[in-house]
Structure 1
Amino acid sequence: MALNQSLRPGLIQLRVLDLDETLKFYKDILGMDEVCRTSDGRVCLKTYDEFDHHSVTLRLADEAGLDYVAFKVASNETLQEMVKATEQFGYTVTEVPADSDQPGYGKRYRFKICTGHTFELYSEVALAEKTPGTINPDIWNEPPRGMGVIRLDHFLLYGPNIEEAERYCTEVMHMYVPELCNKPDGKRMATWITGSNKPHDLAFVEYDKPGKIHHVGFLLQDWNHVGQVADLIAINRLKKDIGPTRHAITRGQTIYFWEPSGNRIEVYAGGYTAYPDNPQRVWDVDHLGRGLFYYEGEIIPSFLEIVT
Structure 2
Amino acid sequence: MAMTGVLRPGHAQMRVLDLAESRRFYRDVLGLVETGEDAQGRVYFKCWDERDHHCLVLREADRAGIDLIGFKVLNAATLDQLERDVQAWGLATERVPAGELLETGERVRFTLPTGHVFELYADKTHVGNGLGQVNPPPWGPAADHGIAPTRLDHCLLYGPNIAANKAFFTQVLGFYLVERIVGPVEAGEPEIAIFLSCSHKTHDIAFVEYPEPGKLHHLSWRMPTWERVLRAGDIMGMNKVPIDIGPTRHGTTRGETIYAWDPSGNRFETFCGGYEPYPDVQPITWTQDGFGHGLDFPHGKLHESFLTIVT
Report the TM range for the smaller structure's normalisation: over 0.9
Q: Which moved more, 1:280-289 or 1:61-70?
A: 280-289
The aligned counterpart of 2:134 is: 135
Query: 1:3-40 CA distances to partner (integer Å, 9 max, x unpaired)?
Result: 44211010100000011111111000101011010101
Aligned residue for 2:99?
99
SS across alignment from 1:181: strand
Instruction: Kindly indicate whether residue 211 of structure 2 is the aligned counterpart of residue 201 of structure 1.
Output: no
Aligned residues of 1:2 and 1:197 also touching (Cα < 8 A): no
Offset at 1:2? 6.1
- Give the C-alpha shift of residue 90 in structure 1: 1.1
Tell whether 2:254 aligns with 1:254. no
Which aligned segments of 4 or more residues in structure 1 are displaced greater than 4 angstroms? 1-4, 129-132
Does 2:213 align with 1:210? yes
Which structure 1 segments of 5+ residues have no match? none
For 2:163 and 2:289, locate their aligned partners in 1 and report how far apart those are by CA, in whole Å.
Answer: 20
1:73-152 aligned at under 5 Å gives the runs 73-100=73-100, 102-128=101-127, 130-144=129-143, 145-152=145-152
CA contact (8 A) 1:179 1:280 kept: yes
Q: Residue by residue, what CA displacement relative to the aligned partner does 1:105-129 show, whole Å, maximum 9, x if unpaired?
A: 1100111111000000111111126
Distance 1:173 1:78 in 2: 11
Which residue pairs with 1:276 in the alignment?
279
Q: 1:303 aligns with which of 289, 303, 306?
A: 306
CA 1:129–1:297: 2 relative to 1, 3 Å: closer
Q: Is the 8 A contact 2:197 2:205 kept in 1?
A: yes
- The 1:205/1:2 distance shift into structure 2, 3 A limit, reads farther
Q: Distance in 2 between matches of 1:161 and 1:55?
A: 27
Determine the structure 1 residue equivalent to 2:37: 37
1:231 to 230, 234, 238: 234
Instruction: Determine the structure 2 residue equivalent to 1:188.
Output: 191
- The answer to whether the 8 Å contact 2:16/2:264 transfers is yes
CA distance in 1, matches of 2:214, 2:146: 31
Match of 1:103, as an amino acid? L
Post-superposition Cα deviations, 1:126-162, rounded to whole Å, max 9, x if no partner, equal 1126544321111123342110110000000000000
Superposed, 1:9-28 pairs within 5 Å as 9-28=9-28
CA distance in 2, matches of 1:250, 1:271: 5
For 2:262 and 2:241, the matched residues in 1 are separated by 7
Separation in 1, partners of 2:278, 2:246: 28
CA distance in 2, matches of 1:164, 1:224: 38
Aligned-residue CA RMSD (Å): 1.2
TM-score normalised to the size of structure 1? 0.97
Alignment equivalent of 2:289, drawn from 286, 289, 302: 286
> Which amino acid is 1:5 matched to?
G
TM-score computed with the length of structure 2 as normaliser: 0.96
| One-letter amino acid matched to 2:67 | D
Instruction: Supply the AA of the counterpart residue of 2:305.
Output: S
Q: Distance in 1 between matches of 2:130 and 2:84?
A: 33
CA contact (8 A) 2:193 2:206 kept: yes
C-alpha distance after superposition, 1:182-233 (max 9, x if no partner): 1122211000001001100010000000000000000001110111111111
CA distance in structure 1 between the partners assigned to 2:61 and 2:139 by the alignment: 34
Equivalences, count: 307
Give distance in 2, aligned partners of 1:212 and 1:296: 27
| Cα distance, 1:3–1:177 mapped onto 2, change above 3 Å | farther
Contact 1:252 1:269 in 2 (8 A): yes
**Equivalent-residue separation in structure 2 for 1:237 and 1:283 (angstroms):** 34
Query: Match for 1:170: what amino acid?
Result: T
Alignment of 1:172-183 (within 5 A): 172-183=172-183
Q: Secondary structure at the match of 1:274?
A: coil
The percent identity for this pair of structures is 43
State the SS of the aligned residue for 1:111: strand
